[in-house]
Amino acid sequence: MRRTKVAHIYREPGNLRAGQLLLGHTKMASMVRYLGVELEDARVIAEAIEI
């Protein structure tokens, strides 16, 4: 359930940092590996944010 909850947090608002804090991962790379985030996922999230 731990991974599932954080996966939902990552997928809905696209917030990797929130998931990282909740799981206690000190490195973002660990968080990305844990969730199995793909490059395409990261690209879609980045394109959804307008600056």
Closest Cα partner for 23 from 5, 49, 37? Answer: 5
Dihedrals φ, ψ of 38, to 5°?
-100, 155
**Which pTM was predicted?**
0.54
User: Tens of pLDDT along the chain (51 residues)?
Assistant: 667 777 777 777 677 788 788 888 888 787 778 777 777 777 777 777 777
- 37 phi/psi in degrees, rounded to 5: -65, 135
For 36-51, give one letter per residue: b (16+ CB within 10 A) or e.
ebeeebeeebeeeeee
Answer for the pair 45, 18: CB distance below 8 angstroms, yes or no: no
Task: Summarize pLDDT for 38-50 with one digit per residue, the tens.
Answer: 777 777 777 777 7
| pLDDT on residue 24 | 85
Number of domains present in the structure of the chain: 1
- Which range of residues forms the domain containing residue 6? 2-48
DSSP letter at 1 equals: -
